[in-house]
Chains A and B, each alone.
Chain A
Amino acid sequence: MFIFKNALCNLIRTKGRTVLISVIVIAIAVASSIAMAINNAAVWAKQSELENKTITGSISVDREKMMQKAMSNTGQNGARTLINSQNSGIDEITLETLEKYADSSHVQSLRYTDSISASANSDAFQKLSSVGTSGQSTRTGGPGGGFGGGQTQSDFTLTGYSSADAMTNFTSGAEKIVDGEIFEFNSADYNCAITKELADYNKLSVGSTFTVGNPNNSAESYTLKVVGIYKQESSSSTSNNSREEDIMSSSNNIFANYKTVADIQEKSKATAVSKTVSGPGGQTIESSSVFKPRVSNTFVFNSKSNYDAFVSEVRQKGLSEDYTISSADISNFESELVPLENLSKFTKIFLLVVLLLGAIILSVINIFNIRERKYEIGVLTAIGISKPKVITQFVVELLAVTIISIVIGTGIGATASVPVANALLSSQVEAQKSKSETTQQNFGRERMREGAQNTQGAIPGNANPFGTSNNAKYIDKVNATVNLTVLLELIGIGILLVTIASIASAGFVVRYEPLQILADRN
């Protein structure tokens, strides 16, 4: 086709115009390729990063729904009421149900823990307290002075683990056995591990035994044998009252296997006493002294897609909306992604602005170009070249220079994208950290009391309300490389820009009549 040959020859004949358009398109291509590389890196990080990682998730009662239902069921308007499974009608999820859900091809394994609150029932074994020396074990009950509300104050938290894998603080190295060894998991052997602080305070060593009681029933007593003493690796050197309380609280954690804790619960049922008390809203509450289990579960998945599939599957299997399925790993990863996503949002807007400006500039240049070449259009149509062919020639000229410039611009963008992306991301990370620090300073604490809770296994409602702490790790390096996909996308954008620019100029070509042009010229 002579039109193509003529178009390419024209690019060489009109070097000045070709260079001008090239410079503009190269600038657009460089900016766009960097922006697109950052966007692609963000999408890739979000989609692919979790695919290669083990994800944990858990099922728990939706506390908000529980509260709403409890309020609704007890008919209390404005008056205080107890928020529990009894009032709300939402039962804590059972181990049997969890195991049913775990019977899925998407689940790698199920880990669970059962925690009960125990009390000291002899002077030989007392809790560590931040106030004074020997903390007096308190047996204060719930409202009415008894155990009615189930809000008993305990001295120790006894947690039973289903397997060694469930002890994630040990697998992660946050806690370490310093004497003895960890207990077995296959029977209710009443072996346990305690903190070094608690062992030293009560002068216990491996092989020693101690007893704990039920804070709601003084008749109950359970003897446990120390087979391991562990130490917590502190993650922060900063100390204040809250932090000290956290450390003390976690020092009073006793770990055993799940079967031991389940056995204690069974024995507790046998000697349980019941009583009726008045609730905070004046309602009557029937309550038992039996240990109230707090089952935490952790499902392990080998990828995020398996996690997503599991979420759909358990909903299909009948898990109601009264229960939430959440993954701390995914939440944490999303927190890590915040600066990258902020940058990605910024680059998307930047990309749109660049492309919009690019389309306007190219259209204006093309319109001026067409007006400048009015005489040429007149001559070409006068010698019998049709208007569609003339338009095609102009489009080919613009397309050729655009694609060549995009390839050059993408090459430059490829060189600059990684350092530019990381520099921009770094500033985003700093901004995010600064924001986080300011928020935390305003709330008067450096970080939330994450250690105050038993972090073994998933604990509902333990989310940090400040979002991410200033100790959070953000993704501060991305491999924002310009790949073939980016190049093809840019060429697609180039074709779109050329089309937009050509539509405007085509209107002029169609309007021109050769005789009029040549007569005007003459």
Chain B
Amino acid sequence: MAILELKNISYSYKVGKPVLKGISHSFESGKIYGIIGQSGSGKTTLLSLLAGLTDPTSGSVEFNSSNLKDINKYKYRSQDVGVIFQSFNLLPNLTVADNIILSMDASRKKFGQSKKEIVTNLLRRVDLDLSYSNKKILHLSGGEQQRVAIARALSYDPQVILADEPTGNLDTKTQDEIIDIFTELARKDNKCIIIVTHSSEVSSHCDGTLQLEKKRK
């Protein structure tokens, strides 16, 4: 059964032609999906629609058969979906741990262990030294920030992980590790992983892909 479903969605910005037109696709738990396409084909826009950050101009995005328009999108974003943004969108004044804990707090979920322990486990999982825990984001490199962004998206155990070029700033070794994490999340934890990527290496690990064509010229 599909956990997320695009039903004939179209999207256009205020000025210009539609970026997305008549897209339909289903996403199931326990699988990894790749959204691929040229630059400007609307991959990130589609990810924003899936994340509930904006609404489609027509059609609908459904989560567990409920139209996102009809549910509390703040609750959806804070509990059900974890987004790894292309530019990470971490708070620069906060430490690594604070950024991760803030997302856990926002989810209002109860955790079996302390939040600090979760942070420690997550940092290990994304291969970041524990000494980074108290470092401010500003002092981290792009690759390190990307790992923190992944750790933040995983911290509150969402059912769906949306990742926009999650391996773009990582070396091959770390890229493989991240793909392994996503694979493990899908296979073992039955999560639905949707990755926007240009990388053929990443798309080769996907169970299905959604190819987008460039609509605007």
Q: Is the CB of A385 within 8 A of B90?
A: no
Chain A residues, CB < 8 A from B85: 382, 518
**Contacts of B97-126 to chain A: CB distance below 8 A:** 98, 102-103, 105-107
Q: Is the CB of B77 within 8 A of A382?
A: yes
Determine which of A14, A376, A515 lies in contact with B54 in the assembled complex, contact meaning CB atoms within 8 Å. Answer: A515
Q: Is the CB of A383 within 8 A of B78?
A: yes
**Contacts of A370-384 to chain B: CB distance below 8 A:** 376, 378-384
Interface size range of chain A in the complex = 20 to 34
Q: A9-B98, A381-B74, A384-B75 are in contact. Are A522 and B106 (CB under 8 A)?
A: no
Does B132 lie at the interface of the complex (its beta carbon under 8 Å from any beta carbon of A)? no
B173 smallest CB distance to A (angstroms): 27
Determine which of B48, B86, B90, B98 lies in contact with A515 in the assembled complex, contact meaning CB atoms within 8 Å. Answer: B48
Q: Is the CB of B53 within 8 A of A2?
A: no
Does B89 lie at the interface of the complex (its beta carbon under 8 Å from any beta carbon of A)? yes
**Total CB contacts across the A-B interface at under 8 A:** 57
Q: A14-B93, A522-B86 are in contact. Are A2 and B76 (CB under 8 A)?
A: no
Find the B residue at minimum CB distance from A385: B106
Does A57 lie at the interface of the complex (its beta carbon under 8 Å from any beta carbon of B)? no
Does A386 lie at the interface of the complex (its beta carbon under 8 Å from any beta carbon of B)? yes
B191 smallest CB distance to A (angstroms): 17
Q: Is the CB of B87 within 8 A of A384?
A: no
Chain A residues, CB < 8 A from B51: 382
B216 smallest CB distance to A (angstroms): 16
Chain A residues, CB < 8 A from B79: 384
Classify the secondary structure of A's interface with B.
Answer: helix
- Docked Cα-Cα span, A379 to B137, in Å, equals 14
Q: Is the CB of B48 within 8 A of A383?
A: no
Q: Is the CB of B106 within 8 A of A383?
A: yes
Digitize B168-191: 1 where CB-to-A-CB distance is under 8 Å, 0 elsewhere: 000000000000000000000000
Chain B residues, CB < 8 A from A383: 77-78, 83, 102-103, 106, 152
Does B140 lie at the interface of the complex (its beta carbon under 8 Å from any beta carbon of A)? no
Find the B residue at minimum CB distance from A2: B105
A388 smallest CB distance to B (angstroms): 10
Does B23 lie at the interface of the complex (its beta carbon under 8 Å from any beta carbon of A)? no
**Contacts of A59-99 to chain B: CB distance below 8 A:** none
Does B71 lie at the interface of the complex (its beta carbon under 8 Å from any beta carbon of A)? no
- Docked Cα-Cα span, A395 to B51, in Å, equals 28
Q: A382-B83, A385-B78, A521-B87 are in contact. Are A13 and B93 (CB under 8 A)?
A: yes
Q: Is the CB of B89 within 8 A of A384?
A: no
Does B2 lie at the interface of the complex (its beta carbon under 8 Å from any beta carbon of A)? no
**Contacts of A495-522 to chain B: CB distance below 8 A:** 513-515, 518, 521-522
B59 smallest CB distance to A (angstroms): 18
Digitize B22-48: 1 where CB-to-A-CB distance is under 8 Å, 0 elsewhere: 000000000000000000000000001
- Docked Cα-Cα span, A379 to B102, in Å, equals 11
- Docked Cα-Cα span, A9 to B95, in Å, equals 11
Does A136 lie at the interface of the complex (its beta carbon under 8 Å from any beta carbon of B)? no
Chain A residues, CB < 8 A from B90: 379
- Docked Cα-Cα span, A383 to B91, in Å, equals 11
Chain A residues, CB < 8 A from B87: 518, 521-522
Chain B residues, CB < 8 A from A14: 93
Q: A384-B78, A385-B74 are in contact. Are A379 and B91 (CB under 8 A)?
A: yes
- Docked Cα-Cα span, A384 to B82, in Å, equals 10
Q: Is the CB of A518 within 8 A of B77?
A: no
Q: Is the CB of B89 within 8 A of A518?
A: yes
A422 smallest CB distance to B (angstroms): 47
- Docked Cα-Cα span, A381 to B52, in Å, equals 11
Does A427 lie at the interface of the complex (its beta carbon under 8 Å from any beta carbon of B)? no
Q: Is the CB of A384 within 8 A of B105?
A: no
**What residues make up the interface of A, taking CB atoms closer than 8 Å to B?**
2, 5-6, 9-10, 13-14, 376, 378-386, 513-515, 518, 521-522
17 A-B contacts (beta carbon < 8 Å)? A2-B105, A5-B105, A6-B102, A380-B106, A382-B51, A382-B77, A383-B106, A384-B74, A384-B76, A384-B78, A384-B103, A385-B74, A515-B53, A515-B54, A521-B87, A521-B89, A522-B87
**Top-6 shortest CB links A-B:** A384-B78, A2-B105, A384-B77, A515-B53, A386-B74, A385-B106
